[in-house]
Structures are given as C-alpha cells and as structure tokens.
Structure 1
Amino acid sequence: MSYSPGILARGPWPLDRVSSRWTGATYQPSPEKDAAADRVIAELRDRGSPAHDGVAARLTQFSVRDGELALELEEMRWALRLIGDASGALSVLCVVRDHEGRWLAGRRAQWVASWAGVWALGAGGAVDVGEDAALALTRELQEEWSVEPERIQVEALLATPSDMTMLIGQAWLAPGAEVTRDHEHDAHAWWPSDPGDWPDDAHPQLQRMATLLSTDTPV
C-alpha cells in the first residue's frame, strides 16, 4: 500500500497504546527495485561504509481506535528503504529533549547509509523483524546515545515523499542525564527549545517537525 505524504495518524499515545502485528508475509519488490537496492549497497561498500543488507519492517495497514494505534507489518528487504521509492518501509525516529526543553541533535558520520554528514534529531532506524515498533524507539535511543528516557510517548505516524513510513516518538531526559554518542555520529549539540533559534545548518524539515511537536504538552 502506498500512502500520500503527510501525517497518517496523530497522537500522542503512551507506548503501551501502540501495537504491532507481524503478518508473516514478505514483501516482494519488482526486479527493478531489487537491482536499485543492489546498486545502493555496492555504492556504500565502495565508500567504506559497513552498512549491510538484511530484513526489516514494512507498514501494510494501520488503524486508530479507542485511543490506540495498531500497526500491521510485514518483512521486507532492508536496502529498499535507501532507494527513491521506499515501498512503505517503516522507520522510527525518537526526538530527544532535556529538562529545559532543548533538542538533542547529532551530526551523522560521513560513512552512514542515510543523512551522511547531516545534522539529525535524536535517534532513529529500521524496525527489526518481529520487533514492536514502539519499543524500537527506546532501543534506538539506548544504542545511539546510551541513555534511558524519564518519559516517552509516540507522537505520530507519517509518510514521506519517498514512500517511507515513520513512527515518531518524543522522549524527555531527567535533569543531569548525560548522553554518549555512538560511532554513527561525529558530533552532537543541544539546540534551543525554540526551533526558530536553531543554527542555520538545521534542516528545514526538522524545524517544521519540531515546531509541530512543540505544540503538545508531554503526558
């Protein structure tokens, strides 16, 4: 299923109000898409990236009912998310804020598969096979920044122009919490609570998303 770009469902929801059901099916791309994914992986290897292919999640359906978000997922080739048409591949993004409302930003290393050399918010990545998508938010946060949130919620499900679907979460850290970046980032900073005060190299897409998230009060 292909989704029009934009917000598909708007929360917030506690993590236990977001469920994932794996269908047991595997998405079969066209030969052209498979070949495009092969080329992307080859290019990554040529520039020294350790990125490897594998299996991840694709969103097939979703529903919002009685204050709950339900996701239906199937397996798909991981590398398909890197081509121009991502075929509904599901990723998670957990934006991170400190007790003063500042935003954690990390500059992606030059060798990574996506957003190489670009500043990004928080932690994100693919949903592993069989994984609960909501719990992937906290997993990515631990893997990329070695920190546990004081509180966290799921904010939205959205679709990008490249036919990627994304589950967006927002986490808040306790006073005094310290982050340690992983090898996929070569720098990090705490950006001001007002996205309008962010540095010039902040991506406009991130500013728009942060502005939207700033309108909500944490649960």
Structure 2
Amino acid sequence: MAPSPGIIARGPWVPSAVEARWLDDHYEPPAAATAAADAAITALAERGSPSHDGLGARFVSHREVDGRLVIEMQPARWGLRLVDGDASQSMAALCVTRAHDGRWLAGRRAAWLSTWAGRWALGAGGAVDVGESPAETLTRELMEEWQLTADRVQVDALVRLPHQMIMVVGQAWLPEGADEQLVMDSEHDAYAWWPASVDDWPPEADEPLRRMAALLASAGPA
C-alpha cells in the first residue's frame, strides 16, 4: 500500500542544514513501471516535447538530527516520474519566489512540458540531479528558469504528493529591484507578480496554489 500524501518533515531550515546522502546503488523499478515510463517518454516525443530521459533522484528516507534535515537518495530513471499514479518516489524541488515586498512570482508552464503543462505555478522547480542536494536544486532552478539570484533562501518542507513524488519546497526572497531584471525561459509562456496577500490573487491562482502559499506565509524565517 502506497504511503499517504502529506508533509513528511517541516522546517524551516537554512540550506546548509539540509544534507543529501546518496546511495551508490541505482533503483531497479518493477517491470510494469519501466514499461509505463517507456510509454510516457514515447508519448512526449510524439507531441514534440524536447524532454529527454536520463537519471534523477529517488527518495529513500529522511531523518531530523540536531536541527538538520538529512535526506537519503539514490539514482533512478528520470522517466519514472511520468508514470500515472506512481512516480516511484522521484524527487523534485520547488523554489517559491518572493519579491522584496512579498509579492509572489507566478509562471504559466508551456504546453510542451511533461508535467503540469498550461498551468500556473509558483516560482521555479524541477528534478533533483544526481549528486545534488535538493537545497542546491532550488537556487539552480531559479537561475535556469528566471535568471534570478536570491538574497535569502530557506527550505520549508519535505512533501509527499498524491502520485508518490517527493518534493522539497523552499522559498527564495529577491533583493530590491530584482523583479524588474527577470528573464523568462522557454518552460513558461507567461508570468506575473501576484500580490503579497493571497486574498488578492487573480482567478487563475487555483486552490492548491493558494493553500501552499498560505502554508509558506505562516512559516517563520529559518
């Protein structure tokens, strides 16, 4: 029986307090998961998506020790995250991005993307690379997707999603004026700065985004 979705661990932690421990052994998925991943990758190619298969991170375990979050991971096939209903505990990171005055960076994901295509999302996010700490993924994705460097970053939670993906959620605060220097990448086709108060967000902000923002807004600094 698959573990229930929800918050696995809640911080906040400064990035240096998040420790990644990598196993040498690669994850060997069941044959059915391999076949489903093959089919998902083929479907992406048929609709013209440049997404490619490779290796990513898979969550194995975690523990909290003396105010630190220790995450144990292993290399696993990237395409497993695309399997409907069971991502095999593939790991991703979400860097929710805030302007200096508290506004939230929102981007609409391009139609070619493998996940959440056409939907609005907060900040930047993506797969954890092999050998990488999920805390490093936050700042890497922020630079790759928006060409932004944060003034301050914290890791807020380790979360299990309903389809068995494990996500590290963090927040990045930008220095004053950085919101005007943003450069949007090809993974988005629109962006906006939503108001600091979630109550003032536009209609395209769906309920899961509002819940996440409310949870993050209630977190104190690391």
- Fold match by TM threshold 0.5: yes
Measured in 2, the distance between the counterparts of 1:199 and 1:32 equals 41
Q: After superposition, give the CA deviation of every residue in 1:96-141 in whole Å (9 maximum; x if it has no partner).
A: 0001111000000100111111111100000111112211110010
In the aligned structure 2, how far is the partner of 1:64 from the partner of 1:4? 20
Question: 1:15-54 CA distances to partner (integer Å, 9 max, x unpaired)?
Answer: 0000001011111111111111111111111111000000
Q: Which runs of 5+ in 1 are unaligned?
A: none
- Counterpart of 1:171? 172
1:68-87 counterparts in 2 under 5 A?
Answer: 68-83=68-83, 84-87=85-88
1:183 matched to 2:186:
yes
1:216 pairs with one of 209, 216, 219: 219
- Cα RMSD (Å) of the superposition? 1.2
Residue type of the alignment partner of 1:27 = Y
Contact 2:156 2:219 in 1 (8 A): no
Say which SS state the counterpart of residue 25 (structure 2) adopts.
strand
Per-residue deviation, 1:201: 1.7
Q: Which residue of 1 aligns with 2:11?
A: 11
SS in 2 for 1:207: helix
Q: Is the 8 A contact 2:27 2:75 kept in 1?
A: yes
Query: Structure 1 residue 2: deviation in Å?
Result: 5.1
Match of 1:138 in 2: 139
Asked whether the 8 Å contact 1:9–1:158 carries over to 2, the reply is yes
Aligned residue for 1:148? 149
CA distance in 2 between counterparts of 1:198 and 1:143 reads 26
Q: Distance in 1 between matches of 2:220 and 2:70?
A: 23
Q: For this pair of structures, how many residues does the alignment match?
A: 219
Q: Is the 8 A contact 1:3 1:88 kept in 2?
A: no
- Equivalent positions of 1:1-219 (< 5 A) are 3-83=3-83, 84-177=85-178, 178-219=181-222
Any runs of at least 4 consecutive aligned residues in structure 1 with deviations exceeding 6 A, and if so which? none
Q: Percent identity?
A: 54
Give unmatched runs, 5+ long, in structure 2: none
